Amino acid sequence: MPSSLLKSAREIVRHRTLLGVLVERDLKVRYKRSVLGLFWTMLNPLLMMIVFSVVFAEIFRFSFEHFTIYFLSAFVLWNFVAQTTSWSTACLLGYAPLIRKIYVPAAVFVLATVLSGLVNMLLSLVPLAAIMLVVGHPIRASVMFLPVAILLAVFFAFGLSLLLAGICIEFNDVVQIYQAVLLGWMYLTPIVYPLDIVPNRFRWLIAINPMYYLVEIFRVPIYGGVLPDARLLWRAGLVAIVALGTGWWVFERRADRIAYLV
């Protein structure tokens, strides 16, 4: 199994030019036709944030410092995973004209989807930093840890995307089912509410939620200004690796069927 994982990885590396072209194409198609162009990427989280901040800070009255930053720092990461995984449910169908005729390992298309989502996420860090400056939340040296948190999130998103892409190619109603799952999943993750409002008897729900760990190790360096503790990091790493391994395994087993199904 590790040797065939290595083989797939090598296949992907061999197609890196294609990966670059696909990511570029994705970003172009997404922004070319909108007047605001690239600014839209940054404006979108900004608008989102205003809505959520008003709803949760003003209406629900969570009384802690800089709720906006608490929420946004988690939401940026959540949004990355949610967006890329839901794009990937449809990505193989979208690329069907390419898959049917020229041999390219199909995982390249899934990875391209994840990477273009990553570009989006990195761009949305710019308005986040701007807002932190405006509200006067300190940006500490702990943000140097973010590349690690982002890398783990990419592993997780890629793994889950592979799994979903492999299933959706056969059962296209999973695309809709997954949208519903995402909605529930987001509210089961402490993104818009603090962990301590969750009653003890429901804490296990948080503990088994992989997104909790990935979100926390991303939020803590930004909002808390400290490094995440080792226990959290260890678990985040574990869920990322397990997701990647499982997703890759399922996808690889279905890879032969993909050209028949698209």
Cα separations in angstroms, 209 against 43, 184, 213, 254: 30, 12, 8, 27
Stretch that binds other proteins, among 9-17, 68-76, 126-134, 230-238 (CB under 8 A): 9-17
Decide: is 18 part of the binding site for other proteins (CB under 8 A). yes
Q: Find the angle CA(251)-CA(253)-CA(255) to the nearest 5 degrees.
A: 65
Query: Of 82 and 167, which CB lies nearer to other proteins in the complex structure?
Result: 167
Decide: is 100 part of the binding site for other proteins (CB under 8 A). yes
Give the number of residues in contact with other proteins, rule: CB under 8 A: 29
Residues 6+ apart with CB under 8 A from 216: 228, 232, 236
Decide: is 204 part of the binding site for other proteins (CB under 8 A). no
Residue from 101, 200, 208, 230 that binds other proteins (CB under 8 A)?
101
Decide: is 10 part of the binding site for other proteins (CB under 8 A). no
Stretch that binds other proteins, among 2-10, 95-103, 115-123, 191-199 (CB under 8 A): 95-103
Considering the complex, what minimum distance in angstroms separates the CB of residue 79 from other proteins?
25
Stretch that binds other proteins, among 84-92, 102-110, 125-133, 149-157 (CB under 8 A): 102-110
Stretch that binds other proteins, among 47-55, 72-80, 171-179, 197-205 (CB under 8 A): 171-179
Query: Of 66 and 254, which CB lies nearer to other proteins in the complex structure?
Result: 254
C-beta of residue 48 within 8 angstroms of C-beta of residue 120: no
> Would you list the DSSP string of 40-108?
HHHHHHHHHHHHHHIIIIIIS---STTHHHHHHHHHHHHHHHHHHHHHHHHHHHHTHHHHTTS---THH
The sign of the torsion formed by the CA atoms of 78, 106, 241, 172 equals positive
Phi, psi of 85 (to 5 degrees): -70, -35
Considering the complex, what minimum distance in angstroms separates the CB of residue 29 from other proteins?
6
Q: In the numeric block, which tokens belong to residue 127?
A: 């308005």
C-beta of residue 184 within 8 angstroms of C-beta of residue 108: no
Residue from 27, 90, 98, 143 that binds other proteins (CB under 8 A)?
98
C-beta of residue 114 within 8 angstroms of C-beta of residue 84: yes
Decide: is 103 part of the binding site for other proteins (CB under 8 A). yes
Considering the complex, what minimum distance in angstroms separates the CB of residue 118 from other proteins?
19
DSSP 194: -
Q: Catalog residues that contact other proteins under the rule CB under 8 A.
A: 14-15, 17-18, 20-22, 25, 28-29, 97-104, 167, 170-174, 177, 255-256, 259-260
